[in-house]
C-alpha cells in the first residue's frame, strides 16, 4: 500500500458520507487550482471540463486495461449520454439486482487512484452529481463529447456493456 495512504475505520452506515466529504474537498481544491493555473477567474463550462479533459489515448487505455466494473460504468454512461444516471441504477448494471449505490464506492475509489497516478487526472471522464434535498442520492452524467469517444473506442475494441 502507498505510504501516503492511511486506513481509517468508518462505521458502515457513514461510508458514503465520508466519500461525499472527500469528493467535495477534492472538487473544491481542483476548482481553485484550475483558476490559478490558467490565470482566469472565469471557470470553463461543466461540459467542457468533463468532456475534454480526457484524451482518446487515455480513454482507450482505460477501456483496455481498466477493471470490469469501470468498463461497465463508462459504457453504460456513454450509452446514456447527457442523462443523469442514479448511482443505484449504475450499481445494479455493474453488480446485479441486489446492488446499491454504495457498491460503486470501491470501483470509483480504485479508479480515482488509478486516474490520478497513471493519467494525472483530477476528474473522472464523467461528472458526479452530489445528493440534494429533493434527490438524496448520487447521480452521474457523461457528456456527449466524451460518450462519442468512449462508444467509438468500445466498438474498435469490441467491448460490450454486458
Best CA proximity match to 104, nearest among 15, 42, 39: 15
13 falls within a domain: no
Show pLDDT as tens, one digit a residue, over the chain (162 residues).
Answer: 677 777 888 777 777 767 766 766 665 554 444 444 444 445 556 665 565 568 889 999 999 999 999 999 999 999 999 999 999 999 999 999 999 888 898 899 889 988 888 888 888 999 999 998 888 899 999 999 899 999 999 999 998 766
CB 24 within 8 A of CB 130: yes
Beta strands in 28-155 (DSSP E): 85-86, 127-129, 139-141
Calpha distance 75→63 (Å, rounded):
9
| pLDDT the model gives residue 15 | 74
Domain carrying residue 116: 46-157
**Backbone angles phi and psi of 156, in degrees to 5:** -60, -40
**Overall domain count for the chain:** 1
162 falls within a domain: no
Taking each helix axis from N to C terminus, what angle separates 68-79 and 56-65, rounded to the nearest 10 degrees?
130
CATH number at residue 81: 1.10.10
149 falls within a domain: yes
Calpha distance 146→27 (Å, rounded):
20
pTM exceeds 0.85: no
11 falls within a domain: no
141 falls within a domain: yes
Amino acid at each position: 500500500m502507498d505510504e501516503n495512504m492511511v486506513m481509517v475505520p468508518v462505521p458502515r452506515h457513514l461510508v458514503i458520507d465520508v466519500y461525499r466529504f472527500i469528493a467535495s474537498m477534492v472538487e473544491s481544491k481542483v476548482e481553485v487550482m484550475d483558476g490559478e493555473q490558467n490565470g482566469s477567474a472565469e471557470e470553463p463550462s461543466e461540459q467542457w471540463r468533463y468532456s475534454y479533459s480526457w484524451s482518446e489515448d487515455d480513454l482507450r487505455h482505460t477501456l483496455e486495461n481498466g477493471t470490469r466494473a469501470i468498463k461497465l460504468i463508462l459504457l453504460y454512461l456513454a450509452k446514456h449520454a447527457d442523462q443523469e444516471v442514479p448511482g443505484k441504477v449504475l450499481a445494479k448494471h455493474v453488480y446485479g439486482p441486489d446492488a446499491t449505490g454504495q457498491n460503486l464506492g470501491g470501483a470509483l475509489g480504485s479508479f480515482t487512484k488509478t486516474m490520478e497516478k497513471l493519467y494525472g487526472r483530477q476528474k473522472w471522464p464523467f461528472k458526479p452529481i452530489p445528493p440534494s434535498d429533493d434527490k438524496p442520492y448520487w447521480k452521474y452524467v457523461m457528456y456527449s463529447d466524451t460518450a462519442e469517444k468512449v462508444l467509438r473506442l468500445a466498438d474498435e475494441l469490441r467491448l460490450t456493456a454486458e
